[in-house]
Amino acid sequence: MKVSLDDLPDIATGATFLGTGGGGDPYIGRLLAMNAIKEFGAPELIEPDDLDDDALVFTIAMLGAPTVLGEKAACGDDIDLAVEKLAQRLGRQPDALVGIEIGGINSLLPVMAAARLGLPLVNADGMGRAFPEIQMVTFNVYGISCTPLSVTDDHLTSLVVDTKDAKSAEDLVRVAAMQLGLSVILSSYPMSGADLKRTAVKGTLTMALEIGRAITQGRNDGRPVEALIDYLRTTTYYNECKQLFDGKVTDIKRETTQGFNVGACQLVSLSDPCDVMEISFQNEHLVARLNGKTKCIVPDLICLVDRETAEPVPVDGLKYGQRLKVIATSAAPIMRTPESLAVFGPHAFGLDEAFVPLEQIE
């Protein structure tokens, strides 16, 4: 199938939902993808299983501050150059591209890249949600090297980086990004088709699309939140799905610590004012607690949606008085293994409690 212009608004809505509060507003990503499709044609979306085992696949993403991307956008040549530099380094052209993060703006940047370069886009990513750092992906967890990776900016500055591990790459690229103006293009995790099939979270681009469609269709039928939950229950990963809470935002605390947007949002139940839910976040939502008791914890997904329209509300869009429903869903099984939890489980975010799958919490 092709990713068509008509799909973009629904993908953007679904990607905001899967961003679990973070990942950056996909609006600008939608416009970038739209312009690229108009200029270069719609890219082909292929399933992981369609890849040859010895095919070569690169990830493509933007890294930096989403606010800055809203000013600079991407120029396009920076994307082409990132792929070219990595290909030069490896002495081989990629056969396909894949997203690293379906949540937020990086859902649609790969669509733009695939359209520009005429490469197929693989229907998968490395987390099935959003996370703040380069090493927090299944590719890394299951042994794919993050490097060599390439970083480019709109002045066509480029860097090709080798590091001992993904975390070192993260630290180095962040510093480079600051010098380059807080918004860069990153092509990383070069991998074989066989490795991608083994390590990726599959089918997530079409899931984002279907989430957006369910919400749109649900609005037409007057039951958007129910339609969203009904759809999630039919998916392979997000099938364990609950409405945790229906309430009103009564407090928001935000601060910046080491470049992260850290804080908590408190909601009070609309039916019983004694019921209070607190959701902590570090860019993305980490844990939801009802009257102090954990109801969902990372890497399972905690998403806030408008209770009337099901429009997903990111952390930056939270305001006192909003009436929201808290939806929790399971993460992909591949993300709930001990190896995965070591990289992006509760402890990786400084939480002093163990991961318990959503469906096992009362």
Partner 1 sequence: MRIGVDVGGTNTDAVLMQENKVLASHKAPTTENVSDGIVSAINAVLSGSGVAAAQIQHVMIGTTHFTNAFVERKGLLSVGIIRIALPSSRGVLPLTDWPVDLSRTVGKHHFLIKGGYQYDGRIADELDEVAVANAAKEIRRKGLKTVAITGLFSPVNSAMEYRALEIVQNELPDASITLSSNIGRVGILERENAAVMNASLADLSRTVVQSFHDALRKLKIDAPFYVSQNDGTLMSSAYVEKYPVLTFASGPTNSMRGAAYLSGLKNALIADIGGTTTDIGVLVNGFPRESSITVDIGGVRTNFRMPDVLSLGLGGGSLVETRAGRTMVGPTSIGYRLLKEAMVFGGQTMCATDLAVAGGYSDIGDKNLVSKLPRELVSQGIKRIHEIVTEGVDRMKTSFEPVPLVLVGGGSVLIRDDIPGTSETIIPDNAGVANAIGASIAQVSGETDRVFAYDAMGREASLQTAKDEAKARAVDAGADPTTIEVLDIEEVPLAYMPGGAVRIRVKVAGELAATR
| 192, 216, 243, 250: which one binds partner 1 (CB under 8 A) | 250
Q: Which of 108, 101, 103, 100 is nearest to 18 (CA)?
A: 103
How far apart CA 145 and CA 100 sit, in angstroms, is 13
| 233, 259, 309, 353: which one binds partner 1 (CB under 8 A) | 259
Which residue lies nearer to partner 1 by CB, 162 or 308? Answer: 308
Which residue lies nearer to partner 1 by CB, 143 or 273? Answer: 273
* 286 part of the interface to partner 1, by CB under 8 A: no
* 67 part of the interface to partner 1, by CB under 8 A: yes
Q: Which of 24, 196, 3 is nearest to 101 (CA)?
A: 24
Write the CB contacts of 50 (distance below 8 Å, at least 6 apart in sequence).
Answer: none
**Residue type present at position 70:** G
* 252 part of the interface to partner 1, by CB under 8 A: no
How far apart CA 64 and CA 172 sit, in angstroms, is 13
| 40, 47, 50, 68: which one binds partner 1 (CB under 8 A) | 68
Neighbouring C-beta atoms of residue 155, cutoff 10 Å: 11
Q: How far is the CB of 175 from partner 1 (least distance, A)?
A: 8
For residue 359, CA distances in Å to 64, 288, 295 come to 34, 14, 10
| 175, 222, 272, 350: which one binds partner 1 (CB under 8 A) | 175
Q: Are 304 and 279 in contact (CB under 8 A)?
A: yes
Which residue lies nearer to partner 1 by CB, 61 or 144? Answer: 61
Which residue lies nearer to partner 1 by CB, 48 or 76? Answer: 76
How far apart CA 177 and CA 116 sit, in angstroms, is 23
| 154, 170, 195, 300: which one binds partner 1 (CB under 8 A) | 154
Q: How far is the CB of 230 from partner 1 (least distance, A)?
A: 24
| Helices (H), ranges, the chain | 8-18, 27-40, 66-72, 77-90, 109-117, 138-141, 166-179, 193-199, 204-221, 224-233, 338-344
Show contacts with partner 1 in window 11-50 (CB under 8 A): 22, 24, 28, 31-32, 34-36
Which residue lies nearer to partner 1 by CB, 67 or 337? Answer: 67
Pairing mode of beta strands 323-329, 96-99? unpaired
Show contacts with partner 1 in window 302-321 (CB under 8 A): 316-317, 319-321
Which residue lies nearer to partner 1 by CB, 182 or 277? Answer: 182
Write the CB contacts of 58 (distance below 8 Å, at least 6 apart in sequence).
Answer: 83, 86, 87, 94, 97, 98, 187, 188, 189, 190
Which residue lies nearer to partner 1 by CB, 28 or 100? Answer: 28
Q: How far is the CB of 203 from partner 1 (least distance, A)?
A: 27
Pairing mode of beta strands 293-297, 96-99? unpaired
* 357 part of the interface to partner 1, by CB under 8 A: no
* 264 part of the interface to partner 1, by CB under 8 A: no
Lay out the sheet containing 158-161: strands in order across: 45-46, 121-122, 96-99, 56-64, 183-192, 149-152, 158-161
Which residue lies nearer to partner 1 by CB, 36 or 57? Answer: 36
* 240 part of the interface to partner 1, by CB under 8 A: no
Residues that bind partner 1 (CB under 8 A): 22, 24, 28, 31-32, 34-36, 63-68, 70-77, 112, 132, 154-156, 174-175, 177-178, 181-182, 248, 250, 254-256, 258-261, 283, 316-317, 319-323
